[in-house]
Structure 1
Amino acid sequence: MKIKIILLILFTSLIGYSQEIALLKYNGGGDWYANPTSLLNLIKFSNQNINTTIKVKPATVEPGSPDVFSYPFIHATGHGNILFSDSEILNLRNYMLSGGFMHFDDNFGLDEYLRREIKRIFPNSNLVEIPASHPIFQKPFAFPAGLPKIHEHDGKRPQAFGIFQDNRLVLLYTFECDLGDGWEDAEVHNDPKEVRDKALKMGANILNYIFNN
């Protein structure tokens, strides 16, 4: 408990002075670097449209580093295996329990590995589907049906799953959606403007939720 209090004080002091987000560089063989322009575009969109003041270039952080506590939002994506060491599991758990927020976005092929690792981080909690009524889908942009569909994978509906601790959403897992692809430069996937707009607006909602809750 004492460690958690110290971490919470550290985290709170850090986010009070700056807004900066990071990309998670994980081990296991998966391509953590899969969407190189996505966070850059999300930051630009959010700063222009919802009045965030996020540092333009996102950081890259490793799961076992104490630097994770410098970022209120850490994003991870990829197509393949993701594997955390025991010390990384503990570090990520402490990060989220002390105020941090993690977003995992399945870029297709990450699901089975990620679910295994999430269970290691929170062995006593289960991923639950987040209903469309949750605030993360309400503002500043309305998504009355919940998570939007950006790219097709297996023809399944898009789902947002979460881990809640003390009624606080600490981990968001977006599945069968591929938000990160929608955040990429337009020429990467040649998505229609309305599709990219949906992705960026949903991303802005996530950031708004983190910085205002």
Structure 2
Amino acid sequence: REAYHTEAEHVYVITLSSHLSGSYNSAVLGMNLYREKYGKKQIHVIDSESASCGETQIVKKLVELEEQRLSFEEIVKQIEEFRSNVHTYFVLDNLETLRKNGRLTGVKALVASTLNIKPIMAGDKGSIVQRGQSVGMKKALRRMAEIVLEEAGDTKERFLMITHCNAPDRAETMKKLLMEKAEFKGCLIMDTRGVSSMYANDGGVIVTV
């Protein structure tokens, strides 16, 4: 509630996918409590339906929209549409955290860990779905790049973001694989942070376009 207590006229909150975390519900509750105590304010809580660089994509777009001096209502409309068109993909070395938290419905976590099969996963309206699989991380990264290019469509107006958990070489490999085959508005590589690091575990790579 108190985090909303700011001089900013427009307040935005971008949370981890509501399918992975309770942060979206907490943010909405905080907004409602703020309005009860302090009155109405232009606040919008956005379920990223993603994580890590998926949230960063939304932040970057919000800054662009605010710099255009659009109305709050128009920004809300455009950012919700933008969010729905962000594609999220990832490959993890270790699926245990996701498995223990019940976030891997439909993904063969145990088979993956015992046979070194790496599922290539994606976000589908915030839920995790499997797009493919490969034996070993190198092949998995190549396959993920192929899937990204197959599904992202025209990438010239899309910004490529890659986050990694202690795996900068893998992130650079993904960047190379994608930028050799497609043109993007730009590319940003970052470390994971917070709960996204916990889910990704050492070696995880996340791609959003």
TM-score of the pair, normalised by structure 2: 0.29
Greater per-residue strand proportion: 2
Report the structure number with the largest CA radius of gyration.
2
Normalising by structure 1, we get a TM-score of 0.28
